[in-house]
Amino acid sequence: MGIIAALIIGAIAGWLAGKIVRGAGFGLIGNIVLGIIGSLIASWLLPQLGISLGGSAFRDIVNATIGAVIVLVVLSLIKRA
């Protein structure tokens, strides 16, 4: 069940990140991967910054979205270079 939940959260987070960072989406599969990578980045980065959002599925989606936005911004900067 954990893998399915990670895919769903990753898909939602990737979709939200694609909407936040206009023109940087990668399609459904790319957004799922982006959301999962973003979730991993956010789960490491946010505690390092002292940010805690509590514990729930909503928190997981917000964390993954924050991480996915960071990844999208970095990827869009790399594409432009």
Task: Write out pLDDT tens, residues 3-38.
Answer: 788 778 888 888 888 888 876 667 777 777 888 888
Q: Is 17 within 8 Å of 36 (Cβ atoms)?
A: no
Structural domain containing residue 23 = 2-80
Q: What average pLDDT does the segment 35-51 reach?
A: 83
- Pairwise pLDDT comparison (54 vs 77), residue with the higher score: 77
- State the alpha helices, DSSP H only, in the chain: 2-20, 27-48, 57-80
Instruction: Say what the pTM is.
Output: 0.79
User: Is the per-residue pLDDT at 2 higher than 80?
Assistant: no
The predicted structure's pLDDT at residue 25? 63
User: Is the per-residue pLDDT at 40 higher than 60?
Assistant: yes
Domain tally, the chain: 1
Write the CB contacts of 18 (distance below 8 Å, at least 6 apart in sequence): 24, 25, 26, 31, 34, 72
